[in-house]
A and B are shown apart, each in its own frame.
Chain A
């Protein structure tokens, strides 16, 4: 186990930048092309962390097979990282609460030593939740940084909580979850079916138990739907 990372997240929530100050010997593992600036003394290497199987698991979870490793070999060094999308970056101390963290595919940005990221089969729940068949699971102990779309709200769940599937960014493993329709919308009558299909509020994640859920304030599907009419089209003359 290594010492915690010294970091700050600035310019949140729209265009956050994760700034890290590494002590000699500390390492940070980040998704490819996340690096914005770095001290010349930092050593960077690309590789498939944890072997091919783990790498493939990550790849199925919407992440790159490759993880970049930054090592402060010669004394203190600084590193700034940014996610690819527009949205806030969150910090999570893996292991501090005795539970791992489940992440929406593609949410991983970087982690410190002691954390491992694997693909985790989400099954039918993952498929219907729109989070992909494979989710990411962070375990071990150390610092983890992940990014969402829009702002990100951490919510302490105790009992029950419902989030539209597209807005679930991450949640702790102590939580039970099921993917279901909005309560009261069980498709029994035709009117309800109509609301289900046309109302745009289809499936939700229903969490129960105790733990934290991170909710993002935008979802990529709706955003693309909003952008679509404005896309440039080929003029075939």
Chain B
């Protein structure tokens, strides 16, 4: 015979309850308070119930509805089953069967929940993508232009614009050679490129076709084909409307979140911390690969050597990854690794037909001389 720690609910007690030690006898279950008071619930009338916040609390009741003994101590139920009278044993058997049933029900609920989560995880991303594609398709191209105009004032925040005809003319000539090979609606856009004085090896395109090339790229590129490769890549972001797509995506994520949680303020804060960035950069990688492959095809169609693109990526790898350069190439963080990109591009090149390569009016050498101030 052992004793178990537990308690008693009794309205006659000061707080309505008190701690007690519980003992199981053949004739019934007994609870003894510290103050000495003893309660007994006889075996014949004993009713058992599992519950409490952990689900492991055993409640013992008799005929008096206001009296309940309780304990969470392990082994109590088993002792009631083996020690007390036949009626109590039946109560134990009933409860044990009930508990087993509940456990099975809980387990199957968990399994169903897990299955639903897996299915949701598989189905949601492609559905979301379809929704984004649909939404972007509904938005007019003029919206891209407006969006680009809004951001265009920030182009000069990289540095002053270079107006020397040798540099600016080269950039424009390359752009104009690429233009006719773009789809008609994109080719009809007001495509413009500005050369910006900056040591960074970079170029970017805003939605709507406003582009900028940083002079570091002209200085470090081996030939015109490399420069054309970067321009073509950036033009493909314009063509596939990746900027507006990213906007729709992040707006869509917010909308989803606010529908599910009723309030997006917490998520906005999370976004600011970069919590959802992983999702967006994954999509970003797809955009980058798309821009690489379509871009290299564009360079070939315009008569540039498509080998310029993989060569440019090798060049980027060569440039010492000093912290300054890494910061300058911050756009690279969302880009696939150089090796992956080079491999994917080089696999595509043999299938491309290179267009006519007319002599250029501007040369990279002259542009460089202009940049050096000669």
Contact = CB atoms under 8 A, between A and B. Distances in A.
Interface of A: 95-100, 102, 120, 124, 141, 156, 158, 171-177, 196-200, 202, 209-210, 221, 224-225, 228
27 contacts: A95-B19, A97-B15, A97-B18, A98-B6, A98-B7, A98-B8, A98-B17, A98-B19, A98-B71, A99-B57, A173-B57, A174-B52, A174-B70, A175-B53, A176-B51, A177-B53, A196-B262, A197-B259, A200-B263, A209-B52, A210-B9, A221-B266, A224-B265, A224-B266, A225-B266, A228-B265, A228-B269
Interface in B27-60: 51-54, 57, 59
B16 interface: yes
B72 interface: yes
B68 interface: yes
Interface residues of B, number: 29
A177 B53 CA distance: 6
B262 A200 contact: yes
Contacts of B68: 210
A196 B59 CA distance: 35
B20 interface: yes
B52 A98 contact: no
A141 B51 CA distance: 22
Contacts of B113: 124
A53 B277 CA distance: 34
Of B20, B53, B260, most buried by chain A (CB within 10 Å of CB) is B53
Interface string B265-304: 1100100000000000000000000000000000000000
Contacts of B53: 102, 171-177
B99 interface: no
A225 B262 contact: no
Interface of B: 5-9, 15-20, 51-54, 57, 59, 68, 70-72, 113, 259-260, 262-263, 265-266, 269
Contacts of B260: 197
A230 to B, nearest CB: 13
The interface residues of chain A, by DSSP majority, are classed as: mixed
Contact of B265 (A102, A175, A202, A225): A225
B52 A176 contact: yes
A98 B70 contact: yes
A120 B53 CA distance: 11
Nearest to A197: B262
A98 B31 CA distance: 11
Which residue of B59, B68, B113, B263 has the most chain A CB atoms within 10 A of its CB atom?
B263
Contact of A98 (B20, B51, B54): B20
Given A173-B72, A209-B52, A210-B17, A98 B266 contact: no
B7 A99 contact: yes
B282 to A, nearest CB: 26
A156 B262 contact: no
Closest 7 CB pairs of A and B: A98-B7, A98-B19, A197-B262, A176-B51, A97-B17, A98-B6, A173-B53
